[in-house]
Amino acid sequence: MKRKKSLFHGLFLTFLMALPLIVGIACLTGFTYGMWGEYKRYTKSLAEGGWLVQSELAVLHDGTPVISNYIRHENSYEDKRTTMDGREVPPDTQTSDRITLQPDLDEMMYRIQFQARLVVPIKPLSYRPPLQFVEADHPRHIWLFRESDRNPGAYFLIKTDRDQQQVIRGYFDRNGPREDEPGLETSFGEPLGVIESKGVIVFQSGAEILAVDLNSNTVEQISDQTALRWGFCKGESNDEHCREIILVTEDEIRTVDYSGKEIHAYAVDGKESQFFITDDERLLVKTIGDYESERTADGQLMKWMETLYELGDDGQSRKLAQFNRTGTFAAEVGTAWVRSVDSFIGKTGLGIVFPGPGVLLGVESGGAYLILQFAKPENRYAAGWREIQKQSPWAFPMSAVFGAIAAYFCYRRQRRYQAAWTKTWTVFVFLFGPAGYFAWRWHREWPPLELVGVTREEFEGPAANGLEVFA
């Protein structure tokens, strides 16, 4: 029992010592990968014409779809645009303004709560600027959100002077303006994703999205669904006031007025989308299809479809352009040996970063769990495993090779020094790879080889009997 207790104590200490070594090996190999990728990118940028980093579908200010090519040269970058039929666009041509939409705050809250469970430092959701809203008729008066002191978690708007914000001139709750502080029943929930344009404030309050119109002193529910993105149809900085709001879900794009009344609904996938407003105030949307990955000799190739639609005033969506976009995680360098190294690294990557099958098993299990948390609810844990294995199919064999090499040296040393628990330590080192081997070597005291096999009695000599003579 005492020997087993000593063994468990040694295994535990060795495991603790192996953890920082695992992290160190992963950081070292990750840094090496990064340097290798930078070498390839630099080499490719030296070629005539530079290296095409990426291409994407873009929109000019008049609504013309173009291909934007981001090119890296030796010491500079170039954004080169061409039309869909290949004609070059003058470099000074302006692109359309992109409309900023609030993200899906429900999803963000879920991720924040998940990160909190992992004890990860997080930044809570906060108001989006501007935090103060100027009253149109009185530029020196501003409106601010304030949390109630009497009812924590209840919020309302207060009107105050720009220079003397301690002086309250009025309140605003769900029923409109009032002179005294609102109660809990008529207050707002914590305002999230606040946006404002021309005196209209749109924000998420609990399980609904509200529009507060300071011009007409009204409060309207825009949507009772919060799993969406939203923004002003003509952008927040447009000079002409537009009373339309975009609501974007995974399978539909809708425009509503400030009372929540639907104006148009478009059957366009808005899961991954970008919105643009042209000079003649046409509303365009670029949708981004699902990513598909493919392992090639030049590295992992990513493919997805980008489609540009015009959302017409008649409620119809019209396809303007479609672009099959591709990209690689690393630059393509033409020499055969570089492509061979790339192919090997791509298939064995995780097995090199985390050598040792036990280490890799833990890392991939954690990765599959994270993928499950951030993926769609219908996905299963096995789907996360398949996704990881798809990226690095030779990871486990390569990790096992490192583990086997480390286990061989462990076994040979154990036998050489006639140490106890040889099989146990060999399996431990196999699971944890080089990190386990070095931790096993360093946490123990090894006697000189000439003393291996010498018993304690042989080393100390016969026991004293009291008849010894000392000179």
Given a contact cutoff of 8 angstroms between Cβ atoms, the answer to whether 107 and 115 are in contact is no
Residue 187 parent element (H or E) = none
Q: How many CB atoms lie within 10 A of CB 466?
A: 4
- pLDDT at position 463 is 62
Q: In degrees to the nearest 10, what's the CA dihedral of 328, 330, 336, 340?
A: -90
SS3 415: helix
- pLDDT at position 374 is 59
d(CA 409, CA 415): 10
d(CA 387, CA 364): 10
Per-residue pLDDT of the chain (471 residues; tens, 9 = 90+): 555 657 787 888 888 888 888 888 888 888 887 887 777 777 777 777 777 777 888 898 888 899 888 888 877 777 888 888 888 888 888 888 788 787 766 555 555 444 444 444 444 444 444 467 777 677 778 888 888 888 888 999 988 887 765 667 789 999 998 888 898 899 998 888 888 877 888 888 888 889 888 888 889 888 887 778 878 876 544 444 456 888 888 788 888 888 778 888 888 877 788 888 888 888 888 988 877 766 555 555 677 888 899 888 888 888 988 888 776 544 455 566 666 666 677 677 777 778 888 888 887 777 767 666 655 545 555 565 566 666 677 888 888 888 999 999 999 888 888 888 888 999 999 999 899 899 888 887 777 766 666 555 555 555 666 665 655
- pLDDT at position 327 is 61
- Written as six digits, the tokens of 201 are 């404030």
- Written as six digits, the tokens of 454 are 């010498």
d(CA 433, CA 415): 19
Domain ranges of the chain: 1-45+335-447, 99-277
CA distance to 96, 179, 211, 263, per residue, from 259 (Å): 29, 24, 8, 11
Q: Which one-letter DSSP state was computed for residue 448? A: -
- pLDDT at position 187 is 92
Q: Which one-letter DSSP state was computed for residue 95? A: B
Q: Which one-letter DSSP state was computed for residue 149? A: S
Please identify which residue in the block is written with the tokens 């666009």: 89
- pLDDT at position 1 is 53
d(CA 77, CA 91): 13
